[in-house]
Every structure is written in structure tokens, then in C-alpha cells.
Structure 1
Amino acid sequence: MSETIGFLLNDSARLFRRAFNARTRDSGITALQWRLITYLKRHEGIRQGPLAELLEVEPITLSRMVDRLVEAGLVERRADPTDRRAWRLYLAPRAADLLDGMREIAQSLTDEATEGLSTVEREQLIALVERVRANLSRRECLKETA
């Protein structure tokens, strides 16, 4: 039986997360927390609501994750100068070192996952998956504006 692309992508992502979590267990950082930190590096100063949307988690779930990362000294909450009810999120200086280590783990895991693929095949795989993501993102954006 041939699997659908959706099943294969979802199952591969699940296996990747599980392997990543196993390799980072000693650091105390989960794959989802690493995603949060990575998004925060790209969007420093973002408010919690938009970050929850990016991560596709409920705001209360994000709030708890941020609480843990603040306690760990990896994330800082700063008052939003335009809205005193809101917080803006920033990486703490300690997060930079952690990100470097996590990148190494992710790269090692990626190398393992793509073992046996040539450089050209790896580049093709990335391009094809990026195209699938763009197709789905565009359709989701079209649905939201309709």
C-alpha cells in the first residue's frame, strides 16, 4: 500500500521530533521549546498572541512554555510600550549558546535522516517540501481572507 504525502510528512515530523527530544533530554529543552526559541530569534519583540499563532498552539499553552523558558533564563518578557496589558518576548543572552548547541543536534539528526541521499537529492527534497508548504500556506491564507 502506498502512503499519502500527508501521512509521510506527518509521520516523518513525528519521528524527527521524537529523536530530537531524545537527544536533547539532558538539556531540558523539547522540540517545541526549541521551535519557540527559533521563532523568537527570527521575530524578537513579538507579542505572545502572534507567536502562539506561528507555533499553532493555544495562547495559554504558549504562556506556560514562556513561563518555563523565563524561569530557565532563556527568554525575557518586556512590557509593550504601546499596550500596557501586553508583553513582548526577547531571547535572553544565554539562549544564543543553547541555540548553537541545538543547531548542531538538529544538523546531526538531519544528516542521519537524509543518509544515502546525494547533495542534489537533499536539495531537491528541501525544494519540494518547501513548495508543498508554500502551497498549503497560500491556501490557508486564502481561506482566512475569504
Structure 2
Amino acid sequence: MSIEAKLAELGVTLPEAPAPAANYVPYVVAGDMVYVSGQISADEGGLITGTLGDDMEVEAGQAAAKRCAIALLAQLKAACGGDLERLVRVVKLGAFVNSTADFTQQPQVVNGASDFLVAALGDAGRHARSAVSSPSLPLGVAVEIDAVFQIK
């Protein structure tokens, strides 16, 4: 099954790749690697904001992380000229969770992205990752995730 077909089966339609918000590029292709800049949590309704451990629960944080993963795939698709079948694997995610000093469930929040990528991509979605706390993120978003992909 193609990646696009699997996404459709999961009820996911990739949005257009978001434009960068400052003086950087959304992705860099270097050889067979694609480095995607941090994607912030947003959906059709706008930014997904909040602070884990304060005004946001883990489940809502997981949904925000999933939206970051969807944006990462949109950037990957753009980097691959629209052909997601060029993906070999997700190599690494770097995740930042807007959370209070005493919140310790960042890995569970980022599972929202990791679980989605494995569901959508199978073994090619398994990756290394980091999941760290941040006292604040751009525009007050709940989650920001960057990624490294291998392509052919």
C-alpha cells in the first residue's frame, strides 16, 4: 500500500507544507537525507497552544504532537517533489514540549507523533528521538518537532 493510501486509510490528508515563519528554509536535502525544520503544533483551526502540566492534558499534547508529525510529512513530500514513496525511513525526531518545570511526561506526549508515524509508515516510521521540556515555545504552541528522513 502506498504511503498516501495508508494516510487516507488513517483519515489523514496532508496539508500544503507550511511556509517558514522567519529567515530559514523549511527543509534541506543533503544527499539521501532530508532535514526538516521544526514544525509547530497547528491544525485547521490554527495554532494548538498550551502548557503541559498546567492548562493542557497529556492526551491533548499527544494530538498536538501528531499534528507536528503530519506537518513534517507535508514538508517531506515537498522535499521529495510530491513523491512520498521516495521515503526510506524516519531517522530521528527532535521534540520540544511546552511544559511546567515539574511535568515529566514529555515522552508520552511525543508518542503522539511517534505512534502516528509508525501507523502511517510501518517499520520505516520507527526512529530515534529526543523529547525534552521547554518553558515556552514560539507563539505559545504546545509542541514543536523537527525531523531527519532518509530518502532514495
Range class of TM-score, shorter chain: under 0.3
Relative to total residues, which structure has the larger strand share, 1 or 2? 2
Q: Structure 2-normalised TM-score? A: 0.24
Relative to total residues, which structure has the larger helix share, 1 or 2? 1
Structure with the greater alpha carbon radius of gyration: 1
